Amino acid sequence: MQTRRQFFGATSAFALTALLAGCGGTTGASTDAKTTGASDSASSDGATGAASTGTLIVGFDAGYPPYGYVGDDGSYTGFDLDLAQAVCDKNGWEVQLEPIDWDAKDALLGSGQINCIWNGFTMEGREDDYTFSEPYMLNEQVVVVKADSDIKSMEDLAGKTVLTQVDSAALDVLQGDQADLAGTFKELQTIGDYNNAFMQLESGMVDAVACDLSIADYQMAAKPDEFRTLGALSSEHYAVGFAKGDTATADAVNAALKELDRDGTVKELCEKYADQGMSYDNWVLE
């Protein structure tokens, strides 16, 4: 899958904002690199990691509230981005926020243009492709429909058009453990970001959206009478992804996250984004 912006603004306006807005000296990672397999591209001895360079370069999807998005003031904000800043403060690192094309994340990580992926990043099924932090947040993959839809159960998705984000955990589930369910759909479509996915659901262009529970909670908090969930496709965890071999940075991030939990910072951030669906009850790192 904040206080803030009109989530359902015009698509073109959002895209322009996401491209032009920035903070903290962010220049925006190049997205013309070809995406390659994570196990090939995201390999490193840690030389480009924050533990070596003193700068955590966070690759994130700028259209993924409440974890990372463009705020009302045009700067990047979100739970994970605030958490990354707090971790950097603990470790004496600089933070650099790099909005990326999600489909290019592996190439960018492998080239060193970013040195972590921190944006509601599901670790299950990717354990062999990255060096991960310890999991910090519980998540589920769910299916969302319009509140007045005649779709009442997963079985009712037969013959319907379902939309999800490209290279997302929801897509992995629907092509893996829930492939039989997806086989009943009229069509399983993909899109670049969940902002536009929910705009299409609201307009009736698609029948359902498969996404992270946090994204669903965000949407339902913004428009409580517009959407509802059918149920969970899978349960999983979020973690911070680093290039293979960058254990020094992963260890430093783990230690900082645990300190931030003990000193109450994590709970404060969850409360800050509670109106977007964030809950401290889902925090799992101790």
CATH assignment at residue 60? 3.40.190.10
Cα separation, 215 vs 66, in Å, equals: 7
Query: Which pLDDT band holds residue 45 (cuts at 50, 70, 90)?
Result: low
Neighbours of 10 (CB within 10 A): 10
**Beta strands at 187-191 and 68-70: parallel, antiparallel or unpaired:** unpaired
- Domains contained in the chain, number: 2
Sheet strand arrangement including 137-146: 187-191, 161-165, 208-212, 137-146, 227-238
Sign of the four-CA dihedral 95, 100, 106, 109 = negative
Q: Which of 202, 220, 236 is the last residue of a domain?
A: 236
Phi-psi region of 153 (alpha: psi -120 to 50; beta: other; left: phi over 0): beta
Sign of the four-CA dihedral 31, 35, 39, 41 = negative
Q: Same domain for 16 and 154?
A: no
Query: Which pLDDT band holds residue 44 (cuts at 50, 70, 90)?
Result: low
pLDDT digits (tens, 9 = 90+) for 149-179: 999 999 999 999 999 999 898 999 999 999 9
pLDDT digits (tens, 9 = 90+) for 92-110: 999 999 999 988 999 999 9
Q: Same domain for 131 and 182?
A: no
Q: Same domain for 199 and 231?
A: yes
pLDDT digits (tens, 9 = 90+) for 198-252: 999 999 999 999 998 988 988 998 899 999 999 899 999 999 999 999 999 999 9
Nearest in space to 57 (alpha carbons), one of 22, 91, 128, 108 = 108
Sequence-ordered list of residues with C-beta below 8 angstroms from that of 183, at least 6 positions apart, any chain? none
Cα separation, 226 vs 248, in Å, equals: 45
Q: Is residue 178 part of a domain?
A: yes
Q: Is residue 164 part of a domain?
A: yes
Give the mean pLDDT of 245-263: 98
Nearest in space to 232 (alpha carbons), one of 248, 216, 219 = 216
Q: Same domain for 217 and 277?
A: no
| First CA to last CA distance, the chain | 23
> Using only C-alpha atoms, what is the Rg of the chain?
18
Distance of CA 257 to the CA centre of its chain: 18
Give the mean pLDDT of 71-85: 96
Q: Same domain for 116 and 253?
A: yes
CA distances from 66 to 16, 60, 273 (A): 19, 12, 7
Q: Is residue 5 part of a domain?
A: no
CA distances from 97 to 11, 70, 74, 104, 120 (A): 22, 12, 14, 16, 15
Cα separation, 135 vs 212, in Å, equals: 16
Task: Name residue, tokens 């669906």.
Answer: 277
Q: Same domain for 60 and 127?
A: yes
Neighbours of 87 (CB within 10 A): 27
Q: Same domain for 67 and 189?
A: no
pTM: 0.73
Residue range of the domain that includes 53? 11-136+239-282
